[in-house]
Amino acid sequence: MKKTLAALIIGAFAASAANAAVVYNNEGTKVEVDGSVRLILQKTNKDGAGHTHSGLKNDGSRFGFTVNHQLNDGYYALARIETRLKGDAKGDDGFGNITAHRAFAGIGHKERGQLTFGRQTTIADKLVIANDYSYGLIEKKSYVPNEGNSVIRYDYKGIEGLVLSASYQFADKRDDANEVKAGTTESPSVKNGFQFGALYDANNIIAKFAYGRTNYGNTVAKGTPASGNTPAVPDVSADKHYRDGILASLGYNFDGFVASIDGGYAKDTFKVENQKLAVKRFFVSPGFQYQVTDLSSVYGNYKYEQESIKVLNNDVKAKTHGFLLGVDYKLHKQAVVFLEGKYQKTKGYQNGKSVGESKKDKAIGVGLRVFF
C-alpha cells in the first residue's frame, strides 16, 4: 500500500508521539514522557513591520507527560499535560516562563470513542493539508477555533482511516463579576461555541471538514483619532457577536507526491444598536508535498484570502496573496533540519479602488528540531 499523507508529512519526524519514553508501566498504568527542542535562525520583518531583523529564537519547544490507565471491559482513562517554553523573561528569543499549554483528562473505549475535558485542541487543529514548520499562511482560528482553555471533546475512530469529532467550548476569560470579559475585533473574547468535523485519510485520498459556531462577549471596534480634515471615529461596541466558520481540504497522494487544496469561509455578525453588520472572509490555498528521498521532502502552497464589509454604502475589502516554500532533511529518526520562507502582501480597497499602503509579511529561516 502506498504511503499515506501522515507518513509523508513529518511522519518520521513526529517522534514526540511515536517515540515517547515509557517511564512507568505497571498493572495497567503507563506513563510516557515526550518533547522536542525547536530552534530557528531567521530573518523577518515581524508580520508587516517596516524593517527586517535577524535572530536565533525558540520555535515552540515543549515537553509533556501522558498517563493511560486500563480499566475494565475495554475502557481506559487518560490524562495529558504539555508545557511550552515561552515568554520574555530574559529577552525576545522566545524562551522564558514555562506554561501549561495543554492540560486535559478523559475516558475512552476503542470501539465507542474518547471523551476528554480541559485545555485542548478541537478538530480544526487537524484541518489543512498544506505543510509548514514555522511560517504557515493559513490562520485556522480565524475560521473555526482550533483550541481552547475549557473544551469538552469527543472523538470516534472506530472506522479505519476515519475520525469523527465534536466539541463544545466554554468561556476562556471572565471578570471579577463572573461575566465574560469584553474583547476587541482583533481579539474577541469567547463566550461559548461548538465545533464538529471529520477527517478521512485512506486509499491515497485525504479529505477534511470542520464547522464551528462561536459566540463572543461584548466586542469593541476601536475608533480612530481626528486627523486633518478627517473627524474622529469613536469606539463602537457590539453587544452581540457570533461567527460561523467552515474549513475544508481535499488532497490526493500520487505515490509520493501529494497535491492538495485547502479552503475556508467565515462570517462574523455584529449587532450594534439594533442593526446588524457582517464581516465576511474566505481563502483558497492550493499546495503540494513531494518526498524526494526517504530523508528529504519539499513542500509549498499559495494562498489567496479576502475579507470584506459593507457599511454606509461603502464596500471595503482587504485582499491577501501569499506564498510559502520549504525543504526539510532528516538527520536522524528524531532530528530534522529545514529551510522555510514566506511572502505575504495585503492591500486595502474601498468601492473597488486601492486605498492606503500595502502590508508585507516576509520571513526566511533555518530551523532544527530534536525530538525525545
The residue written with cell numbers 471533546 in the block is: 153
- pLDDT tens digit sequence for 270-285: 988 878 889 999 999 9
Q: What is the mean pLDDT of the chain?
A: 88
Is 264 part of any domain? yes
pLDDT at 7 over 80: no
Q: Report the alpha-carbon distance of residue 193 to residue 143 in Å, rounded.
A: 12
What pLDDT sits at residue 161?
94
Is 358 part of any domain? no
pLDDT at 12 over 60: no
Is 289 part of any domain? yes
pLDDT at 323 over 60: yes
Domain interval for residue 66: 5-36+60-227+234-294
pLDDT at 28 over 50: yes
What pLDDT sits at residue 269?
93
Higher-pLDDT residue of 53 and 315 is 315
pLDDT bucket at 305, cuts 50 / 70 / 90: very high
Is 94 part of any domain? yes
Is 320 part of any domain? no
Is 321 part of any domain? no
pLDDT bucket at 247, cuts 50 / 70 / 90: very high
What pLDDT sits at residue 226?
58
pLDDT at 146 over 90: yes
What pLDDT sits at residue 91?
57
Q: What is the mean pLDDT of residues 280-302?
A: 97
Determine contact, residues 55/39, Cβ cutoff 8 Å: no
What pLDDT sits at residue 16?
36
Residue 329, all three cell numbers:
532533511
Q: What is the mean pLDDT of residues 303-316?
A: 89
Structural domain count of the chain: 1
Q: What is the mean pLDDT of residues 321-333?
A: 96
Is 54 part of any domain? no
- Highest mean predicted confidence (pLDDT) among 11-25, 54-68, 215-229: 54-68
pLDDT at 55 over 60: yes
Q: What is the mean pLDDT of residues 313-334?
A: 94
What pLDDT sits at residue 47?
59
Is 85 part of any domain? yes
Residue 201, all three cell numbers:
485519510
